[in-house]
């Protein structure tokens, strides 16, 4: 029915999940996983991977979540939800609603992942009156966050891990950049890449042209004097030392970047929180840092 441009990579909790049902249509296509002995007609736990064709037409991840939750509430008016995690290309939502059996409440943790054209939906579902424990919730949030999109045909060769000294140097440099931008995001202009730097990361001349146009747009719209973080977000988390930590847009658009390109990011969070103001698109050329925020967006249709 379709030619996928990316696939979902997700490691579950090791309990022997098996595909019990596959469904394909002109819109969504899905695979439902169950523990041995359970099925779509009789289950207490289920894991679902779903691709929603052309779902990215919804626009932003906020708009996508709004539409998805409205659809759920239209079917089950008593549905309640809360957002557990959100970034520019994905979100994890906890949902609870009544099922056909009044004695079996349905609860889900769902991650929506925004790709260039489609939306990928990963859902852990549990059925019963008892709420899942905090330990179970934390475990599945970690599993969902670790899932990533990989371009079809991309190389599966594993990069050697960054050594400790190099990783520490990278993290220190990124923290210094985050400190500089905290009070004024407009200072990012000193890290604006020029054509030579963009050519060093672009996979082709066409990709370079799109990166140049996107870079001009980003820095034209960059507001001077705008704080990058909220006052209570006093801590900085660096990500990208493991490239799988990046938003899914990078893996989905990896064919547009040279294979050796590495992006990094950081986010400002309040103590005890896991989400906050997140920025990505930092990269190094000849030992100098450059910043193209959300670089993967250069290739969104």
Which pLDDT value is given to residue 196? Answer: 95
pLDDT at residue number 1: 42
> pLDDT tens, 222-246?
989 999 999 999 999 999 988 888 8
* Under-50 pLDDT residues of the chain: 1-2, 154-158
Of 297, 298, 271, 261, nearest to 61 by C-alpha is 297
Distances (CA, A) of 234 to 182, 203, 224: 9, 37, 21
- Torsion region of 17: left, alpha or beta (phi above 0 gives left; psi -120 to 50 gives alpha): beta
Give the chain's domains with CATH numbers: 6-151 (3.40.1000.10), 164-299 (no CATH)
Q: What is the pTM of this model?
A: 0.55
What pLDDT is recorded for position 121? 94
Are 287 and 173 a contacting pair, CB within 8 Å?
no
Tokens of 188: 């990012």
Query: Distance (Å, rounded) from C-alpha 178 to C-alpha 175?
Result: 5
C-alpha to C-alpha distance for 20 and 106, rounded to whole angstroms: 19
**pLDDT score of 156:** 45
pLDDT at residue 158, rounded to an integer: 47
Are 33 and 20 a contacting pair, CB within 8 Å? yes
């Amino acid at each position: 029915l379709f030619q996928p441009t990316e696939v979902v990579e997700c490691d579950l909790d090791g309990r022997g999940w098996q595909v019990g049902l596959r469904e394909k249509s002109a819109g969504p296509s899905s695979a439902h996983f169950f523990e041995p002995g359970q099925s779509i007609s009789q289950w207490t736990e289920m894991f679902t991977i779903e691709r929603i064709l052309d779902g990215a037409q919804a626009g932003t991840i906020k708009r996508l979540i709004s539409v998805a939750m409205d659809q759920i509430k239209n079917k089950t008016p008593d549905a309640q939800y809360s957002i557990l995690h959100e970034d520019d290309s994905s979100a994890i939502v906890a949902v609870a609603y009544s099922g056909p059996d009044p004695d079996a409440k349905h609860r889900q943790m769902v991650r929506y992942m925004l790709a260039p054209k489609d939306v990928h939906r990963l859902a852990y579902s549990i059925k019963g009156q008892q709420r899942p424990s905090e330990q179970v919730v934390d475990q599945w949030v970690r599993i969902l966050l670790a899932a990533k999109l990989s371009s079809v045909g991309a190389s599966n060769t594993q990069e050697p891990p960054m050594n400790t000294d190099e990783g520490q140097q990278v993290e220190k440099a990124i923290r210094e950049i985050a400190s500089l931008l905290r009070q004024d995001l407009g200072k990012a202009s000193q890290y604006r890449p020029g054509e030579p730097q963009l050519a060093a990361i672009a996979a082709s001349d066409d990709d370079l042209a799109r990166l140049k146009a996107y870079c001009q747009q980003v820095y034209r719209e960059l507001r001077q004097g705008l704080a990058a973080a909220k006052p209570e977000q006093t801590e900085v988390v660096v990500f990208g030392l493991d490239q799988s930590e990046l938003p899914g847009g990078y893996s989905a658009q990896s064919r547009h970047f040279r294979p050796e390109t590495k992006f990094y990011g950081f986010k400002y969070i309040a103590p005890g929180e896991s989400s906050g103001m997140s920025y990505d698109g930092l990269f190094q050329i000849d030992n100098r840092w450059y910043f193209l925020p959300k670089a993967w967006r250069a290739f969104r249709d």
